[in-house]
Amino acid sequence: MLKKPQMNSLCRTLLRFWNSSIGKKLIVALTGLMLVGFLLGHMAGNLLIFQGREDLNDYAEFLHHMLHGWGIWIFRLGILGAFVLHIAATVSLVRQNRSARDTRYACDTTVQAPASSRIMIWSGLTVVAFVIFHIFHFTIRVDPALASMKDPGDPARHDVFGMVIKGFQNPAIVLFYIVAISLLCSHLSHGIASIFQTLGLRTEKTRVAIRNLAWGITILLWIGFLSIPFLVATGTLKDSGGGSAVHESSLSIPGAPASKS
Ligand code: HEM
């Protein structure tokens, strides 16, 4: 246990760190790194939908039951903490920079910056709105039609596979996902490279490699996430019903022979 004077000095150190601009930049970079890690993991998990109902539902069941049900809450708290800190430090940095700029420039220097960096705050706000909507859509499941879906092969568990496919039957929702995830990717195309910059890893030598890596991850996430609503909306990925047959016909490719379900 820390004694009171030790606690006071720890609080002072943390406060000094938060009040410094480099401290906040480091918080933005490290929480950004955690969030990119979450996105890659979430996308990989979502892609199990192409393996069929059983694999995706097994994975969702595992997530909800790991560490006797505590695992998902530990994970949620970690992600929520990273998300809140990322936003709070960014907003504080923007305010700090604005108040430090006591003289306005005669011409707007942001004109030379790439569009993705100029709209960082707007793309970031859209991601916040998207995440809130998405949690109501697939985690809290405010739509009773989605909330009541049961896995036909194991009615004791929720049918995440059927829910995702049913959830993307509405073209307005699909459009919202396309716009929001595209803006998220615009945010990432600039944000990932900035993480390396803040951590002091972007040098003349590594600049091109980092830019390519940032774009590679961004494109991977864009295709990986949007492939699902896109293929559902076009009728290529559908719920053919059926139980827990190992490989039911979940992905129907036009022209291909129908598989058993
Ligand atoms: C089309 C792409 C996506 C699909 C199909 C999808 C699917 C899902 C599903 C099915 C769940 C609920 C899992 C469960 O409770 O069993 C979920 C939760 C979640 N998703 Fe997504 N997701 C997508 C994109 C995203 C994106 C782009 C983000 C972040 C910007 C995101 C963030 C989250 C968060 C934070 C949760 C809550 C996790 C929890 O606490 O349960 N998702 N997603």
164 C-alpha to center of ligand 1: Å? 10
Place of tokens 């000095």: 9
Question: Cα dist. 206→196, 212, 229 in Å?
Answer: 10, 10, 36
Q: Quick check: CB of 164 below 6 Å from ligand 1?
A: yes
Q: Quick check: CB of 225 below 6 Å from ligand 1?
A: yes
- AA letter at 38: F
Q: Quick check: CB of 231 below 6 Å from ligand 1?
A: no
Q: What is the pLDDT of residue 260?
A: 32
Report d(CA 85, CA 182) in Å as an integer: 23
Q: What is the pLDDT of residues 115-154, one digit of tens each?
A: 666 777 888 889 999 999 999 999 999 999 999 999 999 9
**When comparing pLDDT for 47 and 204, which is higher?**
47
Q: Which of 191, 6, 173, 226 is nearest to 116 (CA)?
A: 191
Q: What is the pLDDT of residues 167-226, one digit of tens each?
A: 999 999 999 999 999 999 998 998 999 999 999 888 889 999 999 999 999 999 999 999
Which residue, judged by its Cα, is nearest atom 40 of ligand 1?
A: 76
119 C-alpha to center of ligand 1: Å? 24
Q: From 38, 46, 50, 77, give the residue whose CB has the most ligand 1 atoms within 8 Å, as the site to mutate.
A: 46
258 pLDDT exceeds 50? no
Q: Quick check: CB of 40 below 6 Å from ligand 1?
A: no
Q: Residue 157 — left, alpha, or beta (φ > 0 → left; ψ -120 to 50 → alpha)?
A: beta
70 CB neighbour count, 10 Å cutoff: 10
Report d(CA 72, CA 76) in Å as an integer: 6
Taking only Cα atoms into account, the Rg of the chain, rounded to an integer number of angstroms, comes to 22
Q: Quick check: CB of 233 below 6 Å from ligand 1?
A: no
Which residue, judged by its Cα, is nearest atom 9 of ligand 1?
A: 138
Q: DSSP state, 260?
A: P
Q: What is the pTM of this model?
A: 0.86
Report the half-sphere exposure of 171 (CA within 13 A, side-chain side). Answer: 2
Q: Which of 17, 27, 36 is nearest to 213 (CA)?
A: 36
Which residue, judged by its Cα, is nearest atom 36 of ligand 1?
A: 135
28 CB neighbour count, 10 Å cutoff: 22
**CB proximity list for 27: less than 8 A, separation 6 or greater:** 18, 85, 86, 89
**CB proximity list for 166: less than 8 A, separation 6 or greater:** 145, 146, 149, 239
Q: Quick check: CB of 149 below 6 Å from ligand 1?
A: no
Q: Where are any strands of DSSP class E within the chain?
A: 150-151, 154-158
Tell me how far apart the terminal alpha carbons of the chain are, to the nearest angstrom. 59
Q: How confident is the model at residue 51 (pLDDT cuts 50, 70, 90)?
A: very high
Name the 3-class secondary structure at 140: coil
59 C-alpha to center of ligand 1: Å? 13
Residue 72 alpha carbon, nearest atom of ligand 1: 40
Name the 3-class secondary structure at 155: strand
Q: What is the pLDDT of residue 157?
A: 94
Q: Quick check: CB of 65 below 6 Å from ligand 1?
A: no
Report d(CA 261, CA 244) in Å as an integer: 9
Both tokens of residue 146?
A: 């989605």
Supply angle C-alpha 129, 135, 140, rounded to 5. Answer: 140
40 pLDDT exceeds 90? yes
Q: What is the pLDDT of residue 133?
A: 96
Q: Quick check: CB of 38 below 6 Å from ligand 1?
A: no
251 pLDDT exceeds 90? no
Mean pLDDT of 61-78: 95
Do 46 and 228 touch, CB atoms closer than 8 A? yes
